[in-house]
Structures are given as structure tokens and as C-alpha cells.
């Protein structure tokens, strides 16, 4: 992999570090990426399904997941893991990601991971062909394509350091702070960097200097490289050997910081865990000398580094190796932004024509389109285009439940309110408010309990015992009037439709075996219309390819009852209009239909 990141690279961000994520998205917006570089956030303690972030002046929603496995399954294209877990958790998060697979690179910010664990983690990644950046790093960047978290600092600093587009230099450092400083120095004295990695300050890091420099050697965008090492370790010597053997042929400018260490009487631990010389060869002075002897460009002091960069850059440009770079157009991140209070993902009324889930209303509403109310529901409720057998089934359900006469509680309420002189909407609402566990709620309940039994492999007898232990009647079973001898034609119609049009009906088949047992005890304990609808809805979603978790979510959120609400609304309005048309007077319940049992109040 010659290029670490591209403009299509997406990452899974472990731990909701909102500041770092926003900086990544501001960078994406600035360089005009089409998709956000953060595809998902893993936040084990989060309660929501997404987090909002700014995308320029607008906002985008980044989905959140409880685990890395869930995030990776939902976002398989995301091949970078940005591990912002603490040092106590970072090892486990990385090892889990390596086991899951599908990641090309993993960045680890935590410092202080125990060395034994760090070495095991790094070797596991190396064996799997995964590039690890860190531990103890700020990350890396492919300018104009992708940047990790806080690399480069603010947008203003990024543009000033020419990190908004690719330059010619490949930069590898240990220090994250000096990475930003060097990016600026390179921008001032050359044309910026093509790729940069801060490998991390811990003693045992994943990808070392030679790994990154060999990759940059193969990257045609990189014309020369800069290595900033430090006192401690021997990784620089691997680079020296690669230069001597001809594996690296591109010019390298290098410096090891920490030359002041020779003025101390004993070994000194500098800022990083690995910044301590344990042998003469590990001193910054020895490594600088060895690199210079190998033909690497080594300045006399760190202060001379800018001049050395200008020298090498000027030489390569004069030779025609480096060409002029055209400055790309950029977006400007607004200084003042306001978060939106509402989110809508189903319709859009901006522009020439309002849309339903991305489709102009005229493309679904006009008779010539061949679309019906089932298509509109599939778009607005589920943001999917359902096939005709499914949309026709939805319409069948709505027509089936539209009305059940004036005596049921909802219709009764709507009629009484209409006779009180209230409007259609007020009368409708009073009827709708009666819909719940006892009126219409069996649709939700039937789907929930029958699905639970089927999912857990319960026999009909075991299911009946399960419901008995719960202390509730089986939702969807039983009818006051209908029975085996007097079947409900609505139920028969729904079942016949499913038999002819559904790919298969496993839950309905299971429910019929339960019905055979319940009706053997009492012939009116049949599968009723609510139960049939709820059960067939589950079969429909399964046939459409929804995962079981999402179907469970539909049931829990009341989606099934929504079909009853949509259908019964038609009937309620019919009853209200009937009352208005007949000019019916105020309703008063007859006294002879009330059992009065009023005792004289006792005196306290």
C-alpha cells in the first residue's frame, strides 16, 4: 500500500471525541471531500443512534454503535480505526479490531500501554498486514485526502502549512507536536508534504520509521523524505541500511533531536517513553553522524533544518523532479454556525418540488405513475422502495382495518365529540386516543410475542405455558363472535393474499400451529385480524431482508400499531362526517343504561 489514505478513505472513530471528529469534518469540508471521513463512532455508553456535527454551515449525522463489530458490520467500507480509548482499554480495542478484520490501518492515541502488551499487539498487526500508527501519537495525514483527528491543528494552521493539498515531501516523525511544527517549516521552505505520519512516542510502536519510509519510496507523489528521530532506540539504523542497500533511493533529510543529552552526567529521560539512550549507538549524536555518513542529508543543528529543506527542494525542482503545484479551490468553514433543532430524513420541501425520501411527489402521487398509498408509506415510514406485493399488502391492511362499526370505543368517542359541535380534527383525535393495548394494540403484541416464540424455538405448548407465566392472554388470539365455524373473512383474505404473493410465511405458519392448539380447547380462540396483520408484517419484513434487530425495533417503536392508526383514521373521519351530515344533536347517555350504586358518604 504505497498511499496510506485516499479521498475515499473512511474511518471508524472509537470514543466520541467530538472536538477531534469536528476537526476532521471541517478538514473534509475544506478540501471538498464528497463523504465525511468519519463513517461511524463507537461509543459503548451512548444512548442515541447518531451524533450531529457541522459540515460547513450545515450538519451531518454520524451513526453511533455500541461495539466495533456493530460499526464495522454496518460500515464495511471504513478501513481505518481511530482508537481514542484510554491506555487501560486501547489494547483490547485494537486486538478486537484485528480479530474482526477489514482494517488496513489502526491509529492509537493512548500512551503508556504496558510494553509486553504493546509488543504483542504490534506483532499481531504486522502478521495481519495492518499498519499501526502509535501508540502515543497524534496520527497522520494525506493532504488533500484524509487527516486523522487533531493533526495539523486548526483549519487556519492547516492551510498556512499547505496541508490542504498534496506537496512533495514524505514526513515521518516520532513527535506529534514537532510534526505540526515541521509541516509549517516545510510549507515555508518547500511546497508542503504529500504524506505525513507521527509514529508515536512510546518505546514500542507499531509502524516504525523504515515501514513508513519504504511505503513513501513507492509512493510516486513523494519526491523526497524527512525523518525526525530522537535520542533512544535504533530504528534510524534500519533506514541507514535501506539507503546503503538501495531499497531507498529518494533523498532523505534527517535529524535526531536530543543532542543535548551528552552534556548530562547520566542517562536522561526526555518527554517520550522511548526517548532515552541506553547505549552509545542510541544517542542522537551517534545516529546523526551515522546517517550523514550514509549519504542522508543531515543539518549541522536543528536550527539549520529549514535551510537544508530549502536546499534539497530547490535541487529537485531545478532537476525537474518536482513540478509546480496548482492550488485547488477550497470551501471556507463559516466562523459562526448554529445547530439545527429538528432533523428530517424522510422528506424535503426545499427546491423546485417537495420529495418523499428523495423522490419528487409527482413521481409517486399521479395516477400515471402506478403508485399507491402503500408506496408512499414505504417511502415516508421506512425510506425504502418496497416491491408491489409488499405495497399492495400494506394497502390491503389499511383497507381491512379502516372501520369496524360505530360501537367500538374509538368510533364512539369520535361520534360523541362530533355531536358536541367539535371540528373534524378534534373529533378524530378523541377517537385516536383510545387506540392502545386494548383497542388495536394486539397487532404490536401479536408480532412481539409470536416472534419471540419463533425466534426461541418454542413449541406451541411451550409458547402457551410461556404466556401463562407472563399472566397475559395471547395477543392476536381469540374473537368475541368469530370462531372455526364462523370464520373472519378479513383474516381469510389476508392469509390468501400472503399465500399467493409472499415469498414465504414462516411466522404465520408457526402461528397456525398455535391456533390449532388453542382452538382445540375453545373454538373461538382463533387467530384474529390483529394477530394476522402483526404476524404477516413480520413475515413481510423478513422477506424484504430486514435484520431481526431492526424488525424488533419496528415492533418496539409502535410501527405496527401505526398501520391500525392509519387505517382506522379513515373510518373515524367517516363517522365524524356522518354525524355532521345528519346534524345530530348533543349526545347524552341514557340513564337506564347506567348502573347507579351511590352510597351515602360516611362521616369521618
Q: What are the C-alpha distances in Å from 515 to residues 50, 444, 519, 520, 525? A: 42, 18, 6, 8, 7
- DSSP symbols for 145-185: TEE-TTTT-SHHHHHHTTTTS--SEEEEES-HHHHHHHHHH
Q: What are the C-alpha distances in Å from 56 to residues 18, 22, 76, 211, 253? A: 16, 10, 26, 36, 37
Look up residue 301 and give its DSSP letter: S
Helix orientation angle between 442-455 and 548-556, rounded to the nearest 10 degrees: 150
Q: Which residues pair with 52 in a beta bridge?
A: 61
Q: What does the block give as the cell for 496?
A: 390468501
Cα–Cα distance between 403 and 17 in angstroms, integer? 52
Omega of the bond prior to 135 within 30 degrees of 0, cis? Answer: yes
Cα–Cα distance between 414 and 434 in angstroms, integer? 10
- DSSP symbols for 364-397: HHSGGGT--HHHHHHHHHHSS---HHHHHHHHHH
Residue the block writes with cell 360505530: 406
Cα–Cα distance between 537 and 535 in angstroms, integer? 5
Q: What are the C-alpha distances in Å from 74 to residues 41, 71, 374? A: 11, 5, 28
Cβ neighbourhood burial of 124 (10 Å; 0-12, 13-18, 19+): middle
Q: What does the block give as the cell for 7?
A: 479521498
Q: What are the C-alpha distances in Å from 2 to residues 6, 142, 147, 150? A: 11, 12, 16, 23
Cα–Cα distance between 145 and 151 in angstroms, integer? 13
Look up residue 261 and give its DSSP letter: G
Q: 62, 82 in Cβ contact below 8 A? A: no
Cα–Cα distance between 4 and 541 in angstroms, integer? 41
Phi and psi angles of residue 600, each rounded to the nearest 5 degrees, phi first: -70, 130
Q: 200, 243 in Cβ contact below 8 A? A: no
Cα–Cα distance between 159 and 152 in angstroms, integer? 9
User: Which positions ≥6 away from 483 have C-beta within 8 Å?
Assistant: 519, 523, 524, 526
Q: 135, 108 in Cβ contact below 8 A? A: yes
Q: Which of 164, 272, 479, 575 is catalytic?
A: 272
Active site residue 272: yes
Cα–Cα distance between 498 and 500 in angstroms, integer? 5
Q: What does the block give as the cell for 592?
A: 337506564
- The residues that are catalytic are 272
Amino acid at each position: 500500500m504505497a498511499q496510506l489514505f485516499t479521498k475515499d478513505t473512511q474511518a471508524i472513530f472509537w470514543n466520541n471525541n467530538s472536538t477531534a471528529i469536528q476537526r476532521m469534518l471541517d478538514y473534509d469540508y475544506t478540501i471538498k471531500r464528497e463523504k465525511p471521513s468519519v463513517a461511524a463512532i463507537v461509543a459503548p455508553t451512548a444512548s442515541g443512534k447518531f451524533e450531529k456535527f457541522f459540515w460547513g454551515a450545515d450538519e451531518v449525522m454520524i451513526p453511533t454503535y455500541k461495539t466495533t463489530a456493530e460499526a464495522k458490520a454496518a460500515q464495511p467500507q471504513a478501513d481505518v480505526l481511530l482508537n481514542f480509548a484510554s491506555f487501560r482499554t486501547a489494547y483490547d480495542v485494537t486486538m478486537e479490531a484485528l480479530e474482526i478484520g477489514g482494517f488496513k490501518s489502526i491509529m492509537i492515541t493512548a500512551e503508556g500501554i504496558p510494553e509486553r502488551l504493546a509488543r504483542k499487539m504490534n506483532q499481531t498487526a504486522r502478521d495481519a498486514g495492518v499498519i499501526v500508527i502509535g501508540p502515543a501519537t497524534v496520527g497522520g495525514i494525506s493532504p488533500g485526502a484524509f487527516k486523522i483527528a487533531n493533526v495539523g491543528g486548526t483549519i487556519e494552521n492547516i492551510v498556512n502549512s499547505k496541508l490542504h493539498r498534496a506537496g512533495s515531501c514524505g514526513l515521518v516523525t516520532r513527535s506529534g507536536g514537532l510534526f505540526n511544527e515541521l509541516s509549517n517549516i516545510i510549507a515555508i521552505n518547500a511546497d508542503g508534504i504529500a504524506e505525513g505520519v507521527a509514529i508515536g512516542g512510546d518505546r514500542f510502536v507499531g509502524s516504525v520509521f523504515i515501514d513508513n519510509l519504504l511505503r513513501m519510496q513507492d509512493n510516486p507523489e513523494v519526491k523526497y523524505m524527512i525523518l525526525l528521530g530522537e535520542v533512544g532506540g535504533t530504528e534510524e539504523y534500519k533506514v541507514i541500511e535501506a539507503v546503503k542497500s538501495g531499497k531507498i533511493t529518494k533523498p532523505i533529510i534527517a535529524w535526531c533531536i536530543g543532542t543535548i543529552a551528552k552534556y548530562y552526567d547520566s542517562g536522561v529521560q526526555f518527554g517520550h517513553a522511548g526517548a532515552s539512550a541506553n547505549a552509545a549507538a542510541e544517542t542522537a549524536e551517534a545516529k546523526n553522524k551515522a546517517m550523514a555518513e550514509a549519504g542522508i542529508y543531515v543539518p549541522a543543528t536543528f536550527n539549520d533544518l529549514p535551510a537544508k529543506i530549502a536546499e534539497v527542494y530547490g535541487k529537485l525542482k531545478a532537476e525537474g523532479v518536482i513540478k509546480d503545484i496548482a492550488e485547488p479551490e477550497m470551501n471556507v468553514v463559516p466562523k459562526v454556525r448554529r445547530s439545527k433543532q429538528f432533523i428530517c430524513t424522510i422528506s424535503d420541501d426545499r427546491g423546485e418540488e417537495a420529495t418523499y425520501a428523495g423522490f419528487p411527489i409527482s413521481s409517486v402521487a399521479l395516477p400515471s405513475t402506478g403508485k399507491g398509498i402503500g408506496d408512499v408509506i414505504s417511502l415516508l415510514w421506512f425510506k425504502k422502495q418496497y416491491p408491489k406485493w409488499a405495497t399492495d399488502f400494506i394497502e390491503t391492511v389499511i383497507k381491512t382495518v379502516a372501520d369496524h362499526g360505530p360501537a367500538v370505543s374509538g368510533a364512539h368517542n369520535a361520534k360523541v365529540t362530533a355531536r358536541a359541535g367539535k371540528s373534524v380534527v378534534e373529533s378524530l383525535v378523541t377517537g385516536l386516543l383510545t387506540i392502545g393495548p386494548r383497542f388495536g394494540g394486539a397487532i404490536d403484541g401479536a408480532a412481539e410475542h409470536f416472534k419471540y416464540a419463533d425466534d426461541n424455538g418454542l413449541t406451541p405448548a411451550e409458547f402457551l405455558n410461556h404466556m401463562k407465566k407472563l399472566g397475559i392472554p395471547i395477543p392476536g388470539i381469540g374473537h368475541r363472535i368469530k370462531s372455526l365455524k364462523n370464520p373472519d373473512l378479513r383474516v381469510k383474505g389476508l392469509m390468501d393474499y400472503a399465500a399467493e404473493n409472499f415469498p414465504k410465511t414462516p411466522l404465520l405458519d408457526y402461528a397456525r400451529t398455535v391456533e390449532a392448539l388453542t382452538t382445540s380447547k375453545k373454538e373461538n380462540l382463533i387467530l384474529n385480524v390483529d394477530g394476522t396483520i402483526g404476524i404477516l408484517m413480520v413475515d413481510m419484513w423478513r422477506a424484504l431482508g430486514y435484520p431481526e434487530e431492526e424488525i424488533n425495533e419496528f415492533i418496539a417503536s409502535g410501527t405496527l400499531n401505526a398501520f391500525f392508526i392509519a387505517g382506522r383514521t379513515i373510518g373515524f373521519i367517516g363517522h365524524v362526517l356522518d354525524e355532521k351530515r345528519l346534524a345530530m344533536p348533543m349526545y347524552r347517555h341514557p340513564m337506564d343504561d347506567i348502573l347507579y350504586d351511590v352510597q351515602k358518604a360516611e362521616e369521618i
